Structure 1
């Protein structure tokens, strides 16, 4: 296998074919890392060096979990593709159907016949995690949310997300909508690598919509220097989930924590994992990376 493959496909291939020999470093992690903040049936975590694809930490990273609003990362991936191809512009108006408007909160609350421009839709999905907007985007791009979800799953397979099935655009409860922490790390890396010009959206903690300031849920922004996104999620079945990007001082990490009992516990755990992964005394996970032909 040649080592001249471009970085992006090599990193995706590495994550897609990780062989886990041991999930954690042989060094003793801080107590805050060892204090797993969730029941075993919900908790999963992984830390990946996004520049090399090397796994630095993992617990149950290939176990099936509910993605909750992490699902919207793929909704945005497909919307960014539509922007890139010219199918839509940031000024394109997306109609909000009665079905989209009827979704449960969190949402922006639209009336019959209203629409939202693509730029505001991206911000609403990233910052507010608006279910009505996510469904509207899915219906607009896919013709129906069902067809859009099928496209989401197909794109997931192409990215190497081998254990993910999407059933809707929002992440609202569906027993068949499943993923893994590892697959969410792949998606987080893909968003940064494929759409660097759009990734700034994930660092926004609020936005103005129709003269009203809309605040977000991602308290990791501004809490840890170097954190620049990307998405939180919660439903009762999943617990509190997050995918976090760290990018500072020449280090780029993707941290996924799923199934925490509260947003505070989740965020504390993410911060501890970042500190652990940046520690010069950490000798790294015993992980073999296998690269496949693209």
Structure 2
């Protein structure tokens, strides 16, 4: 077997998609943020990245990992929203943003989640951490183990809050991955991030996300600020069925954070278009079969092939199919035997698995004879008489 990479130029479907997306040109974007990333969750395309893999102090944006741990416990049935956790003296004494819990109280998980998602309460985070793991330190160890399991490769946690601590770090790419996980796996809990205010102990606090009321489609996530981290924001927005996640870190002020985040979200929706190139199950090409009861088998995407392109380069979408071929029989319908690599200018390539559309059984005597004949013809055609 040898690697066969067939480039399919000007695919009919790609051309159709390009025609539907054609519009005035996209403009490149720069940002003063120390690190930034924008991901189109509908297609998986990265629209913008700057120092995306650099581990940085995340401040309160790392509370997304604390919330992920709580959401997982709720989904697994180890925890309920009506469970109550006691408030320790350590939690009560926490500085910074606070829910204003009182030592000795026993607070429902549902209320603690509001205290974190709306009020960014450091005290609420510690109550949750101690309730789940006994101590905040033990909870941080659990966070690190889980982070490795879910693919957060540039993160290390030392506490549940993002409180300044040397070595407590996250990259903006990891924050985007975590945001995507929360949006897609915990939609019933994600809605808490869009709640505008929450009152506890007769103290009403507004949601700290500066983009919620700007009509941008933003419906979560989390702000962050410390002296070491600067001002940051992880946000998710949806328009017309298309969702993005944006993370900025290391900005200089509250005003700059709001301005930059608003600019980036608007740019992501304005300058890019997302569309379906191929539907799941739609055969797009045949793969050669080796010694089977059929000479070829159709290949179709396992899921919709959704492509994001800049408006100006929409007509330059191309694709190539890569597989080790001919593919030996037997083959079962649904077996993944190839990849569709979709490429567009200024965008990283995205790979989609392609599966066989039919069963192909092993060939009989005639198929084996024909395969042997093809090998002999290939050998005789090569300059040195040896098979490739």
Smaller-chain TM-score bracket: 0.7 to 0.9
2:162 is matched with which residue? Answer: 171
Residue 190 of structure 1 aligns to a residue whose secondary structure is helix
Matched, 1:128 2:112: no
- The offset of 1:204, in angstroms, is 1.3
Which of residues 32, 44, 54 is equivalent to 1:37?
Answer: 32
Matched, 1:101 2:96: no
**Cα distance 1:155–1:143, how it changes in 2: closer, same or farther (>3 A)?**
same
Q: What is the number of equivalent residue pairs in this alignment? A: 259
- The offset of 1:248, in angstroms, is 1.5
- The offset of 1:216, in angstroms, is 2.2
1:61-210 alignment, distance < 5 Å: 61-210=52-201
1:274 is matched with which residue? Answer: 265
Alpha-carbon displacement from aligned partner over 1:223-278 (angstroms, at most 9, x marks no partner)? 13311001001111000111110111121000000011112211211221122222
Q: Is 203-212 or 193-202 further displaced after alignment?
A: 203-212
1:11 is matched with which residue? Answer: none
Distance 2:99 2:38 in 1: 33
Matched, 1:245 2:236: yes
Task: Work out whether residues 164 and 180 of structure 1, in 8 Å CA contact, stay in contact via their aligned partners in 2.
Answer: yes
- The offset of 1:173, in angstroms, is 0.3
Distance 2:106 2:252 in 1: 36
Distance 2:202 2:181 in 1: 33
- The offset of 1:111, in angstroms, is 3.0
Q: Is 103-112 or 264-273 further displaced after alignment?
A: 103-112
Distance 2:139 2:108 in 1: 19
Alpha-carbon displacement from aligned partner over 1:143-197 (angstroms, at most 9, x marks no partner)? 1111111111111112211010011000000111011010000000000111011
Distance 1:96 1:122 in 2: 14
2:348 is matched with which residue? Answer: 287
2:383 is matched with which residue? Answer: none
Residue 198 of structure 1 aligns to a residue whose secondary structure is helix
Alpha-carbon displacement from aligned partner over 1:1-40 (angstroms, at most 9, x marks no partner)? xxxxxxxxxxxxxxxxxxxxxxxxx9533xxx43x334xx
Residue 189 of structure 1 aligns to a residue whose secondary structure is helix
- The offset of 1:214, in angstroms, is 2.2
Distance 1:290 1:139 in 2: 42
- The offset of 1:289, in angstroms, is 3.8
Q: Is 204-213 or 156-165 further displaced after alignment?
A: 204-213
**Cα distance 1:95–1:291, how it changes in 2: closer, same or farther (>3 A)?**
farther
Matched, 1:28 2:27: yes
Distance 1:188 1:163 in 2: 15
1:227 is matched with which residue? Answer: 218
Distance 1:196 1:37 in 2: 32
**Cα distance 1:83–1:282, how it changes in 2: closer, same or farther (>3 A)?**
farther
Matched, 1:59 2:35: no
Larger radius of gyration: 2
Q: Which runs of 5+ in 2 are unaligned?
A: 1-24, 273-310, 314-344, 354-388
Q: Which runs of 5+ in 1 are unaligned?
A: 1-25
1:265 is matched with which residue? Answer: 256
Matched, 1:218 2:220: no
Distance 2:255 2:176 in 1: 21
